[in-house]
Amino acid sequence: MMANAGFTIWFTGLSGAGKSTLSEIIEQRLRARGRNVEVLDGDVVRTHLSKGLGFSKEDRDTNIKRIAFVCGLLSRNGVVCISAAISPYREAREWARQEIGNFVEIYVKCPIDVCRQRDVKGLYKLVDEGKVKNFTGVDDPYEEPENPELVIETDKETIEESISRIFARLEELGYLESETVVGRA
């Protein structure tokens, strides 16, 4: 189908679910396959592209639209884009899907108590101390995807199992050639 076309992998899920970890590994493996890859991590985007935005619904939607715009530009030019942003609202994710076209939504599902235990950035602790408000999954909603291309449950499978499932799904959807085909080329 389109095994060398650009496309976007859109990871969505709570803070601490594993979006960035999965993105980094997938980026490395796609590069090893000779693909051009860009990762738009939510934290990095907020520092550079969306500086000054807060965490109101409108600001979060604006942030997602900016990420989707960049993903769309890159994807249509043959780049594999990986978005690793919480993107808590269904409507904004659907907008991104329509805007980008070649779009694979992967829900990185993980119970909030496990995300709290992982809390590498210390954000849940800040929420508990009252220093952070409107935190997704705590005092601001996270709307689970209704029809993602794949659900990865990072509390129930190893990183390697998750990565294998993601690559299998991308091959199934026609975005990547299977590694056996790539190996023979």
Write down the pLDDT at residue 64.
85
Residues 35-51: pLDDT tens digits?
999 999 877 766 666 66
pTM for this predicted structure: 0.89
The 3-class secondary structure across 73-89, one letter per residue, is HHHCCCCEEEEECCCCC
Residues 108-167: pLDDT tens digits?
999 999 999 988 888 888 888 888 777 887 888 899 999 999 999 999 999 999 999 999
User: CA–CA separation, 166 vs 164, rounded Å?
Assistant: 5
**Of the candidates 68, 66, 87, the residue with the CA atom closest to the CA atom of residue 13:** 87
Q: Could you list the active site residues?
A: 87
User: CA–CA separation, 166 vs 26, rounded Å?
Assistant: 9
Q: What percent of the chain has pLDDT over 70?
A: 89
E strands, 33-75, in order: 37-41
Contact status, residue 89 vs residue 60, Cβ threshold 8 Å: yes
Write down the pLDDT at residue 122.
83
Rounding to the nearest 10 degrees, give the CA dihedral for residues 72, 76, 81, 87.
20
Question: Which has the minimum average pLDDT: 84-88, 124-128, 173-177?
Answer: 124-128
Distances in Å between the alpha carbon of 144 and those of 13, 121, 123? 8, 23, 21
Q: For residue 21, give the amino acid letter.
A: T
Average pLDDT along the chain = 87
DSSP for residue 62? H
User: CA–CA separation, 178 vs 40, rounded Å?
Assistant: 25
